Structure 1
Amino acid sequence: MANKNVELMRGEPEIAIKKLAIPIMISMILTASYNIIDGVWVAGLGQAAIAGIGFVTPIFMILNGFSVGLGNGATSSISRAVGAKNHEKASKSAAHSLLIFLLASIVLTVTLLLIQKPLLETYGANDQSLVEAINYATPLFSGLFAFMFANGASGILRGEGDMKRAMYAIIVSVILNFILDPIFIYVLNLGSAGASLATIVSSMGSAFVIMYWILIKKDTYVDVNLRDFKFEWEIAKDILKVGIPASLDMFMMSLAMSFYLIFISSIGGEYGIAAFTSGQRLYLFGIMPLTAIASAVAAVSGSAYGARNWDYLSRTHIYGTKFALMISVVITMILVIFAPQLSMIFAYTPETAPLIPEITNFLRIASFGLLLVGIGMPSSFLYQGIGRGTTSLAWTIIRELIFTVSFTYLFGIVFNWGLTGIWMGLAVGRMLASILNFTYARYTINKLKTTMN
């Protein structure tokens, strides 16, 4: 299986993206279902619980972002080694990635447990919503190692083009989460804490499956032998030069999310936060297929870059962009047309029913940002694939912190358009930044063709 995956990575980019993107897409949709499933069960606990989990969302993005980001560092390093037909370096990159995942999980767990309360208070959590937020956050932060190894080790499989088994591991975790959520939340009466505990235990299942393939069964392209491991700074640096900026991508998005929460809280209070949190779950669910396509672009572009095949690199970017744009149109239409029905997923109790109009309003406005995110996201992942993580990070800062925060503040606060203005700012900022991102990606590829031939 591994050799077929590697040959696919080195072959026609259009075929590679199609075949790699589908299992990644399924994996990410299933991963996003964690959030959806948690939201459905937590909705039964009331508005304070919904808002409490909403305040944890930016921090959760940091958690998830570091694990996925470091996994992207592994993907980039391994895929470039695959393109260069350097099996030894690919194997060393995998081994060093596991060490990095372990160290990062320890540091992040300790840090987040220490700062969780003041951080949540900064976002605006107070009284019962603060209690619910801490109940949800503490198990989540304590079990960070599960996320780190589940998401990070998936990056090792993606680096060698083995997307199907990464998908199988996700299926295991989603099934576990689906079973454990109602048991932990209601049967064991753990409330918000039960939702995060279910997620952690489920992630542990996914991590165990992947580590079994890599370390015990040893039927992957990379050959990881921990007994003979020798630390090499150059290998670690090659992973981290993409992994750290990719991790900070989510940190910057979380920082931007903090601004959105502050703006929304000042306008709509707990009601606005609860509506945004519910609508954002669906938005993030909708963006998963685009992220999947972009992840395939990262893997294939890394292989093309390693082989110094600039024609394949250009074709990878163009085809990935077209594919993502087509999917984004379909997703946007679904979110806009079925907004009222989708809103009811998170507002099915008498207490939460008043949220339906505002969740619907969010979906019918903010979702239009997805249309052009479909051309921006493959560009950002292209930079990661070719080992330019800082460029990807720069575009995240431009999109979220410069464009989107500015437009949400302008429309929502300065123009006094309220929550509708915030939703408009989310769409406009992301669309404009995505156009610029795509333009710069084409410039980057053309420059590589002329300077590295």
Structure 2
Amino acid sequence: MANKNVELMRGEPEKAVKKLAIPIMISMLLTASYNIVDGIFVAGLGQSAIAGIGFVTPIFMILNGVSVGLGNGATSSISRFVGAKNHKGASDSAAHSLLIFLIASIALTIILLFIQEPLLISYGASGESLAEGIRYGTPLFLGLFAFMFGNGCSGILRGEGDMKRAMYAIIVSVILNTILDPIFIYTMGLGSAGASLATIVSSLGSAIVIMYWILIKKDTYVNVDLREFKFNSKIAKDILKVGVPSSMDMFMMSIAISLYLIFISSIGGEYGIASFTSGQRLYLFAIMPLTAIGSAVAAVSGSAFGAKNGDYLSRAHFYGVKFAIAFGTAVTIILVAFAPQLATIFAYTKETAILVPEITKFLRIASLCLPLTGAGMISSFLYQGIGKGTTSLAWTIIREVIFTVSATYILGIVLAWGLVGIWTGLALGRSLASILNFSYARYTIKKIRVEFDN
């Protein structure tokens, strides 16, 4: 199985991106369903619970982002070794990745437990929404290791092109989460804390399955034997030069969302926060296919870069962009056409029904950026694939912090368009930055092709 995956990565880039993207897409949509399922069940707890969890969202993005980011570092490092036909290098990279996941999970758990309350207060949480946020966040942060190894080890499998088994592990996890959510939240009476506990237990199931394949069954392309592990700072740096900036991507996104929350809270209070939180769940779900295509492009471009094949690198990027634009357009049409019905998913009680009109506006405006966002996201994943993690981070800062925060502030606060201005700023800022990102990616590829002389 592993050798077929590796040969696919070394073959025609369009075929590789398409075949690798589909299982990643399914995996990510299933992963995003954690958020959707939690939202559906938490909606029954009332507006304060919805808002409380919304205030935790930026912190959760850091938690999840670091695990995904370090997994991307593993993917980039391993795929470049695969392209260079260096099996030992790929195996050593996988072993070092596991060590990095462990250290990061311990350090971040301690930090997040200490800073969660002051952070929630700085976002505008108070009273019952603050209490709900802490109830939801504490178990989530204590179980960080489950996310770290689940997402991180998926990155190891992606690095060698084994996307299907990562998908199977996620399926197990999602089924567990769907079963456990109502049991923990309502049957056991744990409320919002039950939602986070269900997510942690489910993620742990996914991590255990993947670790079994890598460490015990040993039927992966990489051969990891922890008893023979020898630390190599060069390999660790190779992983971290993409993993750290990729993790910082989510940190910068978290900062941006923190600012959105401050803007929204000042305009619409708890009502605005609850509307944004509910709509954002669907938006994040909608960009999962684009992220999946980007992950496939990262793996294929990493292999092409390792093989010094500039033609394959260019083709992988351009095909990924076309694929993402098509998907982004289709998803936008669905979100716009069915916005009221989708909004009802998170506002089905008498208390939360008043949120439906505003969630509908959010979906119909904010989702308009998805086609162009797809082009920008694929470009950012290209940088990660070729080992330029800081370039990917720079474009995240440009998109979210510079363009989008500015647009939301100007339209929502300065011009006093209110919540509609915030939703419009989200779409406008992301669209403009994504166009520039794509243009820079093509320029980068052109320079690499000159260097590789192909």
**Which range, TM-score by smaller chain?**
over 0.9
Instruction: Name the residue aligned to 1:283.
Output: 283
Q: Secondary structure at the match of 2:303?
A: helix
**Structure 2: runs of 5 or more not aligned:** none
Q: Distance in 2 between matches of 1:80 and 1:450?
A: 19
Instruction: Name the residue aligned to 1:205.
Output: 205
* Cα deviation 1:50-94 (Å, max 9, x = unaligned): 000000000000000000000000000000000000000000000
Query: What TM-score results when the alignment is normalised by the length of structure 2?
Result: 1.00
Instruction: Name the residue aligned to 1:79.
Output: 79
Contact 2:75 2:156 in 1 (8 A): yes
Instruction: Name the residue aligned to 1:133.
Output: 133
Contact 2:29 2:288 in 1 (8 A): yes
* Cα deviation 1:267-321 (Å, max 9, x = unaligned): 0000000000000000000000000000000000000000000000000000000
Q: CA deviation at 1:251?
A: 0.1
Instruction: Name the residue aligned to 2:268.
Output: 268
Q: Does 1:16 align with 2:49?
A: no
Q: Distance in 1 between matches of 2:450 and 2:4?
A: 32
Contact 2:52 2:125 in 1 (8 A): yes
Q: Distance in 1 between matches of 2:451 and 2:291?
A: 30
Instruction: Name the residue aligned to 2:121.
Output: 121
Q: Distance in 2 between matches of 1:291 and 1:121?
A: 31
Q: How does 1:199-348 map to 2 (within 5 A)?
A: 199-348=199-348
Instruction: Name the residue aligned to 2:179.
Output: 179
**Structure 1: runs of 5 or more not aligned:** none
Q: How does 1:28-67 map to 2 (within 5 A)?
A: 28-67=28-67
* Cα deviation 1:315-369 (Å, max 9, x = unaligned): 0000000000000000000000000000000000000000000000000000001
Query: What TM-score results when the alignment is normalised by the length of structure 1?
Result: 1.00
Instruction: Name the residue aligned to 1:4.
Output: 4
Q: Percent identity?
A: 79
Instruction: Name the residue aligned to 2:196.
Output: 196
Q: CA deviation at 1:212?
A: 0.1
Q: Which amino acid letter does the alignment assign opposite residue 202 of structure 1?
A: S
* Cα deviation 1:176-210 (Å, max 9, x = unaligned): 00000000000000000000000000000000000
Q: Distance in 2 between matches of 1:206 and 1:328?
A: 28
Q: Which amino acid letter does the alignment assign opposite residue 384 of structure 2?
A: Q
Q: Secondary structure at the match of 1:125?
A: coil
Q: Which amino acid letter does the alignment assign opposite residue 63 of structure 1?
A: L
Q: How does 1:161-180 map to 2 (within 5 A)?
A: 161-180=161-180
Instruction: Name the residue aligned to 2:145.
Output: 145
Q: Distance in 2 between matches of 1:371 and 1:357?
A: 24
Q: CA deviation at 1:24?
A: 0.2
Q: CA deviation at 1:449?
A: 1.1
Q: CA deviation at 1:451?
A: 2.5
Contact 2:246 2:389 in 1 (8 A): yes
Q: Distance in 2 between matches of 1:343 and 1:226?
A: 48
Q: How does 1:430-445 map to 2 (within 5 A)?
A: 430-445=430-445
Q: How does 1:90-105 map to 2 (within 5 A)?
A: 90-105=90-105
Contact 2:47 2:352 in 1 (8 A): yes
Q: Distance in 1 between matches of 2:190 and 2:417?
A: 39
Following superposition, which runs of at least 4 residues in structure 1 exceed 2 angstroms of deviation? none
Q: Which amino acid letter does the alignment assign opposite residue 98 of structure 2?
A: L
Q: Distance in 1 between matches of 2:74 and 2:173?
A: 22
* Cα deviation 1:210-237 (Å, max 9, x = unaligned): 0000000000000000000000000000
Q: Distance in 1 between matches of 2:371 and 2:347?
A: 26
Q: CA deviation at 1:452?
A: 3.6
Q: CA deviation at 1:374?
A: 1.1
* Cα deviation 1:247-284 (Å, max 9, x = unaligned): 00000000000000000000000000000000000000
Q: Distance in 2 between matches of 1:103 and 1:169?
A: 23
Contact 2:324 2:371 in 1 (8 A): no
Q: Which amino acid letter does the alignment assign opposite residue 444 of structure 1?
A: T
Aligned residues: 453
Q: Which amino acid letter does the alignment assign opposite residue 334 of structure 1?
A: I
Q: Which amino acid letter does the alignment assign opposite residue 73 of structure 2?
A: G
Instruction: Name the residue aligned to 1:355.
Output: 355
Contact 2:56 2:137 in 1 (8 A): yes
Q: Distance in 1 between matches of 2:399 and 2:317?
A: 19
Instruction: Name the residue aligned to 2:388.
Output: 388
* Cα deviation 1:99-141 (Å, max 9, x = unaligned): 0000000000000001110010000000000000000000000
Q: Secondary structure at the match of 2:189?
A: coil
Q: Distance in 2 between matches of 1:99 and 1:377?
A: 28
Q: CA deviation at 1:444?
A: 0.1
Contact 2:403 2:430 in 1 (8 A): yes
Q: Which amino acid letter does the alignment assign opposite residue 130 of structure 1?
A: L
Q: Which amino acid letter does the alignment assign opposite residue 263 of structure 2?
A: F
Pick which of 363-372 and 214-223 moved more: 363-372
Q: Secondary structure at the match of 1:368?
A: helix
Q: Distance in 2 between matches of 1:299 and 1:382?
A: 9
Instruction: Name the residue aligned to 2:406.
Output: 406
Instruction: Name the residue aligned to 1:157.
Output: 157
